[in-house]
Structure 1
Amino acid sequence: MAAARVPALRHLLSCQPRVLHASNQRRWAQVHDVRFLATTQQPRNVIEKYREKLDRKAREEGHPDIESLRAAYADKIKNLRKETDTVTAPLRGATPGAQAPPPPSSSSSSPPPPQSASSSTATQPSQEQQQQQQQQQQQQPRKSSSSPTGLKPLSEILDLPKASALPQAELTAIWRLRHAARPNSLCAVIPAATFAAMEAMARTHPQFVLPVPHPEQGAEMHFLQWTWDPPTRSATVLFTQLAEYKARGEFAAPHTTVTHYKDLMDRGGGDGDGAAAGQPGVVLMQGTVLEDRGVKVADAQWLVMCLQRFYGGWDGSGGEAGKERAEERRRLLEWFGKGDTRFSVEKLMEEAERMG
Structure 2
Amino acid sequence: MHRALRMASHGTSKIGLGAPANKRSFAQAVPFLMQANAANLSVADKYRAKLEQKAAAEGVTSVEELKEKYKEKIEKVKTELGEDPITAASKAHENETAKAAQSAIANAPKVPSSDIKDLDSFVDVSKFKLHDRKDIEMLWKMRHAANPQAICGIIDGLVYAELYKNARKNPMFVLPLPRNAPREAEADTNDGGVEMHLVQWAFPGPYTVHCMITTLAEFKLHQEFARPHTTLIMHSDLLADKGIALMNGNVEKESSINLDEAHLLALFLQKFYAANAATESGKRKLALLRAFTQGDADFSLEQLVAEAETLD
The one-letter code sitting in structure 2 at the alignment partner of 1:354 is T
**In 2: Cα distance, 1:355 partner to 1:329 partner:** 13
Task: Give CA deviations for 1:209-250 in whole Å, capped at 9, x if unaligned.
Answer: 00000123311100010001126x200000000011011110
Question: Is 2:159 the partner of 1:189?
Answer: no
**Partner in structure 2 of residue 70 of structure 1:** none
Q: SS of 2:240's equivalent?
A: coil
The one-letter code sitting in structure 2 at the alignment partner of 1:331 is A
Question: Is 2:196 the partner of 1:245?
Answer: no
Shift of 1:294: 0.6
**Partner in structure 1 of residue 203 of structure 2:** 228
Question: Is 2:130 the partner of 1:165?
Answer: yes
Shift of 1:153: 2.5
5 Å matches for 1:104-183? Answer: 148-183=113-148
**In 2: Cα distance, 1:200 partner to 1:302 partner:** 22
What's the TM-score once normalised by structure 2's chain length?
0.59
**In 1: Cα distance, 2:117 partner to 2:180 partner:** 38
Q: SS of 1:354's equivalent?
A: coil
**Partner in structure 2 of residue 315 of structure 1:** 276
**In 2: Cα distance, 1:227 partner to 1:156 partner:** 18
Question: Is 2:148 the partner of 1:198?
Answer: no
**Partner in structure 1 of residue 229 of structure 2:** 255
**Partner in structure 1 of residue 98 of structure 2:** none
The one of 287, 296, 302 equivalent to 1:331 is 287
5 Å matches for 1:42-53? Answer: none
The one-letter code sitting in structure 1 at the alignment partner of 2:222 is R
Question: Is 2:216 the partner of 1:281?
Answer: no
The one-letter code sitting in structure 1 at the alignment partner of 2:173 is F
Task: Give CA deviations for 1:7-27 in whole Å, capped at 9, x if unaligned.
Answer: xxxxxxxxxxxxxxxxxxxxx
The one-letter code sitting in structure 2 at the alignment partner of 1:160 is V
**In 1: Cα distance, 2:127 partner to 2:253 partner:** 34
Runs of 4 or more consecutive aligned structure 1 residues displaced over 3 Å after TM superposition: none
The one-letter code sitting in structure 2 at the alignment partner of 1:225 is Q
Which moves more between the two structures, 160-169 or 253-262? Answer: 160-169
**Partner in structure 1 of residue 301 of structure 2:** 345
The one-letter code sitting in structure 2 at the alignment partner of 1:330 is L
Task: Give CA deviations for 1:246-284 in whole Å, capped at 9, x if unaligned.
Answer: 1111011100000001111111xxxxxxxxxxxx32111
**Partner in structure 1 of residue 67 of structure 2:** none
Aligned residues: 191
Task: Give CA deviations for 1:161-215 in whole Å, capped at 9, x if unaligned.
Answer: 2211211111001101111121110001111111111110111101000000012
Q: SS of 1:237's equivalent?
A: strand
The one-letter code sitting in structure 2 at the alignment partner of 1:243 is A
**Partner in structure 1 of residue 259 of structure 2:** 297
Q: SS of 1:245's equivalent?
A: helix
Q: SS of 2:155's equivalent?
A: strand
What's the TM-score once normalised by structure 1's chain length?
0.52
**In 1: Cα distance, 2:121 partner to 2:252 partner:** 23
**In 2: Cα distance, 1:291 partner to 1:249 partner:** 21
Q: Structure 2: give runs of 5+ residues left out of the alignment.
A: 1-111, 182-190
The one-letter code sitting in structure 2 at the alignment partner of 1:251 is F
Q: SS of 1:286's equivalent?
A: strand
**Which structure is higher in RCO with an 8 Å CA cutoff and minimum separation 6?**
2
